[in-house]
Structures are given as C-alpha cells and as structure tokens.
Structure 1
Amino acid sequence: MGSSVAVVALRRLAVVGLLITSLVIFACSASDEPLVTRIAFGSCANQSAPQLIWNAITDFDPQIFIWLGDNIYGDIRQPFKLFGKERTIGPWKNVPRFIPASEQEMQSRYKRAKNNPGYSRLRQSTKVIGTWDDHDYGLNDAGKEFGGKITNQRLLLDFLDEPQDSPRRKQAGVYSSYTFGPVGRQIKVILLDTRYHRDPLFSDGSILGSLQWMWLEKELNGPPSAITIIGSSIQVISNLSATTGPLFSLECWGHFPKERDRLFRLIRDSKRDGVFFISGDVHFGEITRYDCATGYPLYDITSSGLTQAVEKAVPPPLHFIVRFVAWLTPTTMRVMGRNCRYKSCTYGEPNFGAIEIDWDSTPVAMKIEVRDVNGFPVTGVKTSLLELQTQRIDSVAAIRAEESQKYCTLEMNLPWIVRYRLAILFFCTLAILLLGLIGLTYAAISVSRRCLHKYKFD
C-alpha cells in the first residue's frame, strides 16, 4: 500500500516537473524574441531614379523595414499626347495613359530595385516585409479587374524573399500579419492588400473583399499586443480628394466611406488598444488623426515617396506654389505641429517614415516621424501607449464633448465654401487671367487701329 502511494506521488511530481520545465522553456523562448525599438517604412520607389535615401534609412538602423507599395514602377507610362492618332489626355483621349508591362519587364525592374546598393545594405541588417500598391500591382489605379495580378503577386513575393511554402503564395492577395518582440512588449504588423479585391473607384463597394475582411477580423480579435500597426498602401484617415475636387483626386479609403466605417467599427469592437495606421501612395508625407472612431486617437502616418515626390514634378523656383497649395487645401485631419518644416505640415520631397519606441519609459512612449533624405524629421508626433487606449465614457455630455473635438470633423462635412476654396481660387484666378488676356488683346487691337488710322491720314 505504501509503495503504491509513493509511486503515485512520484508520478505527480514528474508531471509537475514537466509542467514547470515547459513553462520555463516557453518563458525562455518568449524572452529570446528581440525587443523592437525602431521601425522604418516607405513607398513609391522608382527603380530607375536615384535612391539616395537608403543611406538615411540605414543610418536610422531599423530592425524592421515595411514596404507600403509602389516598391517598383512596373507599369508603362505613355507620354502626354493632346493631338494625333493616339491621344492620352483631354476629353477626346482614345488610348490609356498607363499600360501594363510584360512579365519579363516586371522581373527586370524588380531585379534592378533589389540590387540597388543602398537597399542591399539595408537588407543585410534589417527584416524587410511589405505589401503593394497600384504600380507594382501592375497598373495605375487598378483594382480587382486587372488580369495580371496572379503573376505579379508571385513576382512581388519573390522580391520580398517570401518562402516558397508561405500561405501568401497560395491565397488571393498579398495581405499578411507579423508579430515581433517578447510577450508583453509585442508589436503586431498587419499588412492589407488594397488592390486585389478592390471594386472600381467611386463605387463605394469593397476594398478588401469578403475573405480578407474575415481574415482581418480574426487578426484584430486575436491575442493582444502592446502595439498594432496596420499598413495600408492608400491613406486611411485623410480624404483630401473631398477638398481638391474637381481639380484632381487622390486614391484613399475616403472614396469608400462604408468600408472605412467598417474598418473603424472593427477596431472599436475588437477593443484592441495601441492601433495606428501607416500609408503611402500620394507622393508627399503627412500625419493625420481621427478622434471619433475607436475611443482613442487613430493616427495615420503617410510616407511617400522614397524617390517620387510632388515637388520633384515642378522646377525648384515653383516649389513655393506647391507648398502654398498644400497650406491652402482644407484639411480637418492633418496634425499641425510647431515643429513641422513647412507651415502646411506636409512634405513634398523624398521621405521615409520612422517609428521609435521607448519601452523603458512610464508610460511607454512612441515617436513617429516623417524624415527627409538626410534623415532629419520634417513632421512628427510624440504619443504614448496610455494615450492609445480606449477611454471609458460615462455620460452623454462626455460623448458630445468628444464628438466636438478638433479631429472629429470629416472633410466631407466642411461647409461648401471652405471645402471647395481651392477650386474657387483656381477658377477665379483663371477667370482673371482670361479677362486680363482679353483686355490686353483689346488694347493691342485698339492701338494697332489708331496707328494704322494715323498712318493712312499722314
């Protein structure tokens, strides 16, 4: 009897020992995950353009670099042609401005981008992950209708060194998620695919498609993380097209208001703290914020582009015009800080995004910046994980107070005279110039007639 009791006791001790050993192994393996304190990101890198910015990114010494799309310019841009058999602009154009490249040409452009000396140095010391946007997807502004997406998905994943057995190579779309860092200090990176399943622009249809929405809901309701970064190739919060129309339009989630509302609801219902967005596409850098979606401020840090930027499209003496237009454009979401390089708090030259996390501070602090080609900040915000937590609201008065905050008025809800002031100024200027031209023409004709009359009289 005594021996049997001893055997049972020994077995129990053995089980307890195994459990303790397993917990120790798990704790050790979890603590072996390196702590991530620096993340860089960027978009819009033309493989044929000088890419000096990689030196600044390497000097920042990020542990992770995130591509946000237009990692190459794989489609072919045809020249502007207003007249002739093949017209690419104007109301009478008969051929598209952009056409897809062949698979061989796409491979060649990816190879050139991957072999860039600056990018090669970064890859040696940094974990590189990413998604795509339209130009590396294969066609400007394209969505689910584009026929080359299956082939180009494989080419992108080859560029990113995705393992051959990766689920990303079998699914429809390049969306994916990653978790970095030890337990309690983990960073979750969710990369969306805003191209493969996207309905036509202005349709207010779907951006992500049903399968990707199911996947995203599962990711947001999964194990908690201290920080969750959602990467979108197009801007999530800013909707500048609502204020720049009808002059020009920018792709963004604001063109699909039902989808954007669904995204905000999903984040709110998941009760996930520490969420913010990073985005690209627009060829300038800015930081935007929305306070009335999830119970805490939602930031969107836009970095665009590594080589492509709006000020590079105009001669240097005209850069002041671009900056003036950026300052004049009505925006309710842009974070306007005193430390911005320009008054508009946008940056239209090559740039990259930089995230720094101070895990030792109480509360944990974050510095998120857009930096220039020399690595100097041009705009940025400092926040903490305490700020990015759902605040409990116990009264209707508090709810109303929150709704009246600075970053709660969508661009679409601005008074029309404010919303369209850029277009009003443009057309008024055009009208004044036209009237001035007509006046000068009339004056020239009048002077010519007088001179002719005087000549005949003499």
Structure 2
Amino acid sequence: MTTMVLWTWLITILHVLVVVGVCASGEPVVSRIAFGSCANQSSPQPIWNGIIDFDPQVFIWLGDNIYGDVKRPFKLFGRERTIGPWKNVPRFVPASETEMQFKYKKAKSNAGYSLLRKKTQVIGTWDDHDYGLNDAGKEFSGKNISQRLLLDFLDEPHDSPRRKQAGVYASYMFGPKGKEIKVILLDTRYHRDPLFTDGSILGDSQWAWLKKELYGPRTEVTIIGSSIQVISNLSATTGPLFYMESWGRFPRERNRLFQLIAKSKRDGVFFISGDVHFGEIVRYDCATGYPLYDITSSGLTQAVENAIPRPLAFLVELVAWLTPTTMRVIEPRCRYRSCTYGQPNFGAIEVDWGAMPVTVKVEVRDVNGDSATSVNIPLSELQNEGTNHGSTVKSVELQKQCSLEIDLPWIVRYRLAFLFFFASAVFLLSVVIAPIILSRRVFGKCKFD
C-alpha cells in the first residue's frame, strides 16, 4: 500500500512539473514566443493587448522599435524638394541624441508595453529607423550612440558583451535539454555595405560569430531574427516602381547564409523578420536539406493599409495579389487571397512539445490577436537529412518552391510595372482626350456667323 501511495505521489509531481513547464534543471519550457517590428512611439498601440492575451514567455523586437529619425514632408516643388528626380534635400535626417532618448522613453512608458515587460522576457535587435537613419548602413556616424540607446531600452546589463562589441547581434538559449530553443538575433545595419553594391550585410566579425553559433551545441529549434526579410525578394518584382530592403538585394551574402546553415547541418532553423509594413509567411525549399521558412511581421503600428484612406484599402490587397511571388506560402486559412496582411500585426510562434511529432505553429496575428495567416510545421520536416540518407520522395517534394523571384521571366517579373504604366497612360489619355471630344461635341453643334 505504501508503494502505491509513493507511486501516486511521484506521478502527480511529474504531472505538475509538465503542466508548469519546469524540468529538474529548473529551466522552464518555452512554448510561446511573440515578435514584432515597426512601432511608432507617437501612434496609438492597442496591439499590446492582443500580444498580452497570447501570453508569450518571450517577446522579440525585430527593429524600428521607435522611429528615431526625422521625416521631412513630401515636397515636389519649392526650395527644399524631398521627392522626384530633382529633389535637393534628403527625405530623412538623423535626430539628436536627446530626441532619440525622448522617443525611447515614450515607447517604454506605453501602458500596454509596460505591462508586457512585467510578465515577459523582452529581447531584440534594431532596423534603420531606431539605428538612426532610414536605409542606413555602416556609413552612419551616429551608430555607437544609437547602440547605447537601444541597449538601454532593452535593459541590457551594463557589463553585457553587447555594450562592448561593434553591433547589437546576440544569441539566447531557452528551455531544458531536449526542448531547447536558440534565438539568434542578427545586426543588419552596423556593418552593412551600401545598397546596390552586393557587398556585405553582417561584416567579418559578425560572420565569424554566427558560424560559432550555428556550429555550437544542437537545439531542437533555432530561430534566426533578421530586421529585413531573408527569403523574399519582392524588389525583384516591384521595381522600378519601388524597392524594399532585403537579403535578396545582396545575393552573394544571402547565398553565404544559406550555405552556412546547410554546412552546419543544424536542424530546426527558421527565420523571423520585419521592416516591410505587412505580414506574410514565405518558404524556400532548395537552400538546405529541408525547407526554410521566413515569418515576417510588420508592423505593430506601421502598416501599408494605414498609409492610405480606408476606402482605398482594397487597392493594397489587389496590388499584393497581383505582385508576382515564388516564395509566399498560400494557405486556405489565409484571411486574404494574397496571404499577405497589410494592417497592424504581430508574429506568434507556438511549439507543441507534447505532439508526436513536435509541431511549430507560426502565425501573423492582427491587433485583436486573431490569426491572419498561419502554417503548422512538424519539426520532423526541418531535419537536415544530408545527401546520404535523404529519401527520393522528400527530394521531389522539396522542388515545390525553388524558383527565386529574380529568375522569373521578365514579362512576369515586371507585371506590376506594366499594369501601373498602362493604367497611368489610360488615365492621362482620358484626362486629355475626354475634354477635346466633349468640346467638339458641344461646339460642333454651334453655328457661328
């Protein structure tokens, strides 16, 4: 009888440990991670309520945590022209250190974010606007001041190695053995060469660090956070109308990243990213021995549909649907046909450690915490099986999403530009020709002596 009681107590204790997510080592099991980017400190931020309801154990900032630089208004004419081929002043200029400190203080004191900080571990990296200047890279002179201000915002300890290194890259380990999650946060600003150069994004020191991290102790899940999109290269299909920053605009650097992951034989790797002011999930099947996913969440306040009048929001959805993409994951569960989401959003990751096999659910959620697009990924699919024992069936399946946007036929790649110029021509012709036809009809009926 005593033995039965002891077994009953032991089973009960083990059950409690599983429920509360604690192992013998004292490390809590992490199963919910939220992330986001692009939060204007001066805008309303109701989205924190949705994030808090998700109850994440970790929240990851992916950049543009504040909008620290100064944006001048659109001016086509006048002494200070900020747009057009004849512009004579930059649209964005750096703010002073005092202004940046004030903006960080405002962001940190937001009631919703303050509540999240009390119950959730917050980590993060930066993008351009909190780095100090739109689209800036290693040439930006104020980056060391910006680094200190960001790390203050993240409550980084004063003796942290991040305060002594060139750049804000970092890595974190969560969970007990057998249920470990590694988070690698990249710095895509401090060492980045200028756009259009196909140079480096990370710089030599960060590449050496990243190699050590990927070749280090194995974990069940490895999340690589990049402020800009890694897999998607929409600039290849939206140009020459407009361009977005991404790893795809540095093809040699992106190939180097894919090769490093492949050579490390690390399982369970996927990306999270921000920057673009919409959310989507993309996938590339031919970089490593298993599919690579990139879950983009952008932004917490800044979103493409918020940039135009609400009645015209359908135009954004139409453009998203018409823009050619070879990487986006199209699921029946998507809220919109394009499987992009252009309203304020955050990213959500749920790991079901009790499932067989273990499943990772990745989502883009709206301001209320409802799903806009999501994918369930069995962890068994993210296993680097190598060339010796990879099955033929699996290799055939991996050919589904292997075409890069840059490899699309030109008539498909520039479809959006063709449609835009055609619509503009029709509009201009209607503006010019319609009055002429109307005047002829009116004056043609008149007889003049």
What band does the TM-score fall into relative to the shorter chain? over 0.9
**Equivalent residue number for residue 183 of structure 1:** 177
**Equivalent residue number for residue 412 of structure 1:** 406
Quote the Cα distance in structure 2 between the aligned partners of 1:83 and 1:216: 47
1:226-241 equivalent positions in 2, closer than 5 A: 226-241=220-235
Structure 2 residue corresponding to 1:435, chosen from 413, 429, 433: 429
Counterpart amino acid of residue 190 in structure 1: I
- Change over 3 Å in CA distance of 1:402–1:204 after alignment to 2: farther
Counterpart amino acid of residue 251 in structure 1: E
Structure 2 residue corresponding to 1:79, chosen from 61, 70, 73: 73
**Equivalent residue number for residue 375 of structure 2:** 381
Structure 1 residue corresponding to 2:350, chosen from 356, 360, 364: 356
- Change over 3 Å in CA distance of 1:100–1:231 after alignment to 2: same
TM-superposed CA distance for 1:446, in Å, is 2.2
- Change over 3 Å in CA distance of 1:397–1:185 after alignment to 2: closer
Q: Report the 3-state secondary structure (helix = DSSP H, G, I; strand = E; otherwise coil) of the residue aligned with 2:295.
A: strand
Deviations 1:56-98 (A, max 9, x none): 0001000000000000000000001111111101111000000
- Change over 3 Å in CA distance of 1:63–1:206 after alignment to 2: same
TM-superposed CA distance for 1:30, in Å, is 6.6
Quote the Cα distance in structure 2 between the aligned partners of 1:397 and 1:230: 27
**Equivalent residue number for residue 93 of structure 1:** 87
Q: Report the 3-state secondary structure (helix = DSSP H, G, I; strand = E; otherwise coil) of the residue aligned with 1:228.
A: strand
Quote the Cα distance in structure 2 between the aligned partners of 1:431 and 1:44: 35
Q: Report the 3-state secondary structure (helix = DSSP H, G, I; strand = E; otherwise coil) of the residue aligned with 1:136.
A: helix
1:143-158 equivalent positions in 2, closer than 5 A: 143-158=137-152
TM-score, structure 1 as length reference: 0.91
TM-superposed CA distance for 1:384, in Å, is 1.5
**Equivalent residue number for residue 319 of structure 1:** 313
**Equivalent residue number for residue 246 of structure 2:** 252
**Equivalent residue number for residue 52 of structure 1:** 46
Quote the Cα distance in structure 2 between the aligned partners of 1:361 and 1:399: 24
Counterpart amino acid of residue 276 in structure 1: F
Counterpart amino acid of residue 143 in structure 1: G
Alignment check: 8 A CA contact 1:268 1:295 kept = yes
Q: Report the 3-state secondary structure (helix = DSSP H, G, I; strand = E; otherwise coil) of the residue aligned with 1:276.
A: strand
Q: Report the 3-state secondary structure (helix = DSSP H, G, I; strand = E; otherwise coil) of the residue aligned with 2:401.
A: helix
Quote the Cα distance in structure 2 between the aligned partners of 1:417 and 1:83: 35
Structure 2 residue corresponding to 1:338, chosen from 309, 332, 342: 332
**Equivalent residue number for residue 132 of structure 2:** 138
Quote the Cα distance in structure 2 between the aligned partners of 1:30 and 1:149: 43
Deviations 1:81-127 (A, max 9, x none): 11111110111100000000000000000000000000000000000
Structure 1 residue corresponding to 2:96, chosen from 92, 102, 108: 102
Quote the Cα distance in structure 2 between the aligned partners of 1:30 and 1:401: 40
Counterpart amino acid of residue 373 in structure 1: V
Counterpart amino acid of residue 39 in structure 2: A
Quote the Cα distance in structure 2 between the aligned partners of 1:400 and 1:49: 47
TM-score, structure 2 as length reference: 0.93
Counterpart amino acid of residue 103 in structure 1: E
Q: Percent identity?
A: 71
Counterpart amino acid of residue 63 in structure 1: Q
Deviations 1:363-422 (A, max 9, x none): 111111000000000001001110100134459994995497221000000111111111
Q: Report the 3-state secondary structure (helix = DSSP H, G, I; strand = E; otherwise coil) of the residue aligned with 1:188.
A: strand
- Change over 3 Å in CA distance of 1:299–1:397 after alignment to 2: closer
1:116 aligns with 2:110: yes
Quote the Cα distance in structure 2 between the aligned partners of 1:393 and 1:232: 29
Counterpart amino acid of residue 200 in structure 2: S
TM-superposed CA distance for 1:436, in Å, is 1.9
Quote the Cα distance in structure 1 between the aligned partners of 2:351 and 2:395: 31
TM-superposed CA distance for 1:434, in Å, is 1.9
TM-superposed CA distance for 1:447, in Å, is 3.7
Counterpart amino acid of residue 388 in structure 1: L
Which has more radius of gyration? Answer: 1
Unaligned runs of at least 5 residues, structure 2? 1-21
Unaligned runs of at least 5 residues, structure 1? 1-27
**Equivalent residue number for residue 266 of structure 1:** 260
- Change over 3 Å in CA distance of 1:396–1:41 after alignment to 2: closer
Alignment check: 8 A CA contact 2:233 2:247 kept = yes
Quote the Cα distance in structure 2 between the aligned partners of 1:114 and 1:404: 44
Quote the Cα distance in structure 1 between the aligned partners of 2:114 and 2:390: 55
Structure 2 residue corresponding to 1:32, chosen from 9, 26, 34: 26
Counterpart amino acid of residue 306 in structure 1: L
- Change over 3 Å in CA distance of 1:399–1:241 after alignment to 2: farther
1:391 aligns with 2:395: no
Alignment check: 8 A CA contact 1:393 1:399 kept = no
Quote the Cα distance in structure 1 between the aligned partners of 2:66 and 2:332: 34
1:151-300 equivalent positions in 2, closer than 5 A: 151-300=145-294
Counterpart amino acid of residue 75 in structure 2: K
Q: Report the 3-state secondary structure (helix = DSSP H, G, I; strand = E; otherwise coil) of the residue aligned with 2:385.
A: coil
Quote the Cα distance in structure 2 between the aligned partners of 1:444 and 1:92: 36
Q: Report the 3-state secondary structure (helix = DSSP H, G, I; strand = E; otherwise coil) of the residue aligned with 1:31.
A: coil
Q: How many residues align?
A: 428
Quote the Cα distance in structure 1 between the aligned partners of 2:398 and 2:364: 28
Alignment check: 8 A CA contact 2:291 2:398 kept = no
Alignment check: 8 A CA contact 1:292 1:403 kept = no
Q: Report the 3-state secondary structure (helix = DSSP H, G, I; strand = E; otherwise coil) of the residue aligned with 2:420.
A: helix
